Amino acid sequence: MKTTVVLLSMVVMIMAVDFPSGFKVCKLSDPNFEKCYIEAAKIGLNILAKGDNTLGILPLEPIVIGNMTVQASGPVAVKHEYWNMKVYGLTKNLQITIKNFNKNTLANYKEVFYPYFYLLSNYKLDGKILLLPIHGEGKCKLMLHNSTITFKETFVTYEKDGETYIKFKKYDFRIKEAKLEMQFENLFGGDARLGETMNKFINENSKEIFDEVKPAYEKVFSDATSGIFNKIFSQIPLRKIFPPE
């Protein structure tokens, strides 16, 4: 019986980990909590850029977000297929603004501004953009300039091994503003002249194109980032993430 108790205690100690070295923790009682929260978020992202073995988090530079398929209609009647998607720059040069943070429920709304980040991927396109046919398969680079991303988050708590943990109840990720620049290699079977012309046309009409595909981008980004945060939350008790005092 004694051995069983010791083993259970060891399991609890292993599962309920602390933040890795270097992370900043903010007390809810801190009168400058929001300022501390912003600093802590930036420090945490900088540390996690290289990943963390203790938390089982892969490097965030780049974030690997898997595959995406979009069957757009309207002016951009194109089937987009992307795979081996990697996003670079989400841990760098960001500016965070907290619009509202409820210390009782932890519900919050924040805006994050990025001057620049980009995505590298394999792609396949087939369809029409503003009545012009487009097809190709190869590598692409999608660049977002002056992007504002909003996060609306609510949480639920649950008990595990005598500790209280949190997870997202709602995680609303929206790209509020962004200027999209795209570069597709090997359009039209590698026809350099047609490919250059189409890339120019795409970027001249990038707003209309982005409006069509933005919901799909928001979903894959949301799934990837919420999964990372929930994995962290599932290992560190609430009292260690947000100490009350």
- Measuring CA to CA, which residue among 103, 116, 133 is closest to residue 37? 103
For residue 1, give the DSSP letter.
-
**Digit-coded pLDDT (tens) for 16-40:** 578 888 999 999 999 999 999 999 9
Give burial (CB, 10 Å; 0-12/13-18/19+) of 182: middle
CATH of the domain at 217: 3.15.10.30
Q: Which domain holds residue 112?
A: 34-241
Cβ atoms of 28 and 105 closer than 8 Å: no
**Digit-coded pLDDT (tens) for 182-213:** 999 999 999 999 999 999 999 999 998 888 88
Count the alpha carbons within 13 Å of 181 in the hemisphere toward its beta carbon.
Answer: 8
Q: Is residue 222 part of a domain?
A: yes
Phi, psi of 44 (to 5 degrees): -60, -45
Q: Is residue 9 part of a domain?
A: no
Count Cβ atoms below 10 Å from residue 37 Cβ, excluding itself: 20
Task: In whole angstroms, give the CA distance from residue 124 to residue 84.
Answer: 12
E strands in 130-201: 132-160, 163-184
Task: In whole angstroms, give the CA distance from residue 168 to residue 157.
Answer: 9
Q: What is the pLDDT of residue 20?
A: 82
Q: What angle (nearest 5°) sits at the alpha carbon of residue 183, between those of residues 181 and 189?
A: 150
Q: Is residue 29 part of a domain?
A: no
Residues with Cβ < 8 Å from 228, sequence gap 6 or more? 48, 57, 60, 63
Residues with Cβ < 8 Å from 48, sequence gap 6 or more? 57, 59, 60, 91, 228
Give burial (CB, 10 Å; 0-12/13-18/19+) of 71: exposed
Q: Is residue 94 part of a domain?
A: yes
Q: What is the pLDDT of residue 139?
A: 98
- Dig out the tokens for 131 from the structure: 């009545």
Note the residue count of the chain.
Answer: 245
For residue 186, give the DSSP letter.
S
Instruction: Extract the residue ranges of the chain whose pLDDT is less than 70.
Output: 1-16
Cβ atoms of 62 and 87 closer than 8 Å: yes
Specify the pTM.
0.86
Q: Is residue 142 part of a domain?
A: yes
Q: What is the pLDDT of residue 48?
A: 95
Q: What is the pLDDT of residue 47?
A: 95
Q: Is residue 177 part of a domain?
A: yes
Structurally, the chain folds into a number of domains equal to: 1
Q: Is residue 19 part of a domain?
A: no
Q: What is the pLDDT of residue 102?
A: 97
Please report which residue ranges of the chain form alpha helices under DSSP H.
Answer: 2-15, 33-48, 192-204, 206-233, 238-241
Q: Is residue 23 part of a domain?
A: no
Q: What is the pLDDT of residue 190?
A: 93
Q: What is the pLDDT of residue 213?
A: 86
